[in-house]
Structure 1
Amino acid sequence: MTLATFLKVRPPTFRGTSNPTDADNWIQAMERALQAQQVPEEQWVEFGTYQLQGEAQYWWQGTRRIQQPDGAAIPWEVFRTEFYKKYFPNSARNAKELELMQLKQGQMTVAEYTSKFEELCRFSRICQGAPEDFAEWKCIKYEGGLRSDILSFVAPMEIRVFSELVNKSRVDEDCVRKAAAEKGSLRMPFQRPSGRNFAPRGRNFKRGGFVPQQTQGQGNYRRPNITANQGKRFGKQPQQDLNCQKCGKYHPGVPCRLGLGVCYSCGQPGHIASNYPEKKYETGRVQQPGRVYTTSTIGAEGSETLIRDAGREPSR
């Protein structure tokens, strides 16, 4: 195997990074490329380090002098160990493992939570080795991080196959989302159509009093509008709300006589309200003086309107 042949598959390059995940991703991708091209293990370090660039290349030049003082070949495991010391130290690995222990779904979707969970499992010491050795622990830890609304569905099933557990969690998430959407639509408040007033049929009731219904012979009355302030208080409503729409006057129970050529007072033709005969008679009457009642002798002296008790003789 020549280096030129290996480079035809375009293996990934690495320039150095402060993100431990990127460093681990490069190691994993490079090992897959070396295995796919069937590169002999004694050439792995030569071909792999050729893809180091920038800061990572300078780092390897200094490290190789220390690890290869006599020019002997460096095994891939030695390179891998030194690479992780530089770009994925134990402190970063411990932080990843602690993040896995504290991982919760929260506001993430099941797909997002699963992706984050599997990424952190790569760095966990528990998840190293054969998958069957930690399969049950992985399912239990995954369940513990799910939201309660999803956990309540999957936990009773006690699924211990990770792929089945993830698939069931996604199905339950869809069910929870649909149920929440339907519940939200049922809670939408009823909106009363604007421009129309609704009132009970038959008798018209109004806060603060009874409002008579309009009939054909009772004049042109408009029903008062109940405003927010008027509807909160009780008592008699203002008279101006019951004025006739035709003449603007207040004459409840009497047909409007505007434009009929009759007297507004009696409804008879031939005169008007200002010349109403009965009104002249009432205004022409002389007002009688009021009568004075007294029980005091002093107050009765000189009073012409004194009413005396004829049934009792004055005391002597």
Structure 2
Amino acid sequence: MYNLKLDKFHGHEGPEGAERWLEHIEKTFRVLHNQGNLPVERWVETTSWFLGTESASWWEHELRSLTPAERIDWNVFTRLFKRRFVPPEYIDRKKQEFTDLKQRKMTANEYYRKFTDLSRYHPDINSNPAEMLRLFRGGTKKRWHSMATTTPCESYQEFYEILLRIEDSENMSSDSDEERNDGKQKIEDKGKGQTSLGPRQTQNFKKGGASSSSSSGSFSASGQGRGNRFAGRARGQRQGNGGRG
């Protein structure tokens, strides 16, 4: 039993935690049952291995008022478990959440999953396909109403398939618009680059010309300075020689 690695339920996890734990237990048991490893009549007994002190005391108390057949009936256990750990107030809140559900920013898939999950809290609507379709359609995005209602459907599952096609079409259109905008932006960027290239080249050319002129001037001045110095010394030498002579 411990190899199943199932968490223990202690009784203080709250309604949502109790639901998640029971669902996980049942899914695990169904897999084992389908593999031929866990008969249904052993489910309740196996579950008792994963009850904490508080929840185990509760179950021991319930067992006293059950017949031998009821003690191994999984439906009896789940009904009593929910009555104790999933109070009616919680169910009422979930019912209200279901009837008020709107798609808003959810994808079609997210909206469908949440709608289906919450519908279990409202069995009267869940068992009525026409009412399920009406409620599901009323919660979808307004811009999808007119498009989706043009195609006849008999269940909210069929309506969901229509929404998926509409959503895919919108996504493809958005991708195409984005590609066109990217291409337009590249063209504009390229045009801006060509426009700005002219002035930069002209400016560089002017700078290069000024630099060449300065270099030439500097070279001439330097040359003249050297020439004057040489010429001065030469004249001084001639004068000195002339004086000695």
TM-score when normalising by structure 2: 0.60
1:95 aligns to 2:90 (yes or no): no
RMSD over aligned CA atoms reads 3.7
Structure-2 change in CA distance of 1:72 and 1:91 (3 Å): same
| Residue matched to 1:155 | 149
Q: Deviations over 1:49-79 (max 9, x none)?
A: 23x243xx53132332344169956443432
Q: How many residues are paired up?
A: 186
| Residues 137 and 156 in structure 2, CA contact (< 8 A), matched pair in contact too | no
| Residues 130 and 154 in structure 2, CA contact (< 8 A), matched pair in contact too | yes
Q: Secondary structure at the match of 2:77?
A: helix
**Aligned equivalents of 1:78 and 1:64: distance in 2?**
14
1:49 aligns to 2:52 (yes or no): no
Q: Deviations over 1:162-210 (max 9, x none)?
A: 332222111101112233444566677866615738xxxxxxxxxxxxx
> Which structure is larger by alpha-carbon Rg, 1 or 2?
1
| Residues 24 and 88 in structure 1, CA contact (< 8 A), matched pair in contact too | no
**Structure (1 or 2) with the greater helix fraction:** 2
**Aligned equivalents of 1:12 and 1:108: distance in 2?**
32
**Aligned equivalents of 1:186 and 1:67: distance in 2?**
70
Q: Deviations over 1:246-282 (max 9, x none)?
A: xxxxxxxxxxxxxxxxxxxxxxxxxxxxxxxxxxxxx
Ranked by relative contact order (alpha carbons within 8 Å, sequence separation 6 or more), the top structure is: 2
| Residues 96 and 120 in structure 1, CA contact (< 8 A), matched pair in contact too | yes
Structure-2 change in CA distance of 1:104 and 1:40 (3 Å): closer
Structure 1 unaligned segments of length 5 or more: list them. Answer: 1-6, 198-316
TM-score when normalising by structure 1: 0.48
**Aligned equivalents of 2:45 and 2:148: distance in 1?**
49
Structure-2 change in CA distance of 1:180 and 1:11 (3 Å): same
1:62 aligns to 2:58 (yes or no): yes
1:166 partner letter: Y
Shift in Å, 1:158: 3.1
Structure 2 unaligned segments of length 5 or more: list them. Answer: 197-245
| Residues 105 and 145 in structure 1, CA contact (< 8 A), matched pair in contact too | yes
**Aligned equivalents of 2:107 and 2:140: distance in 1?**
10
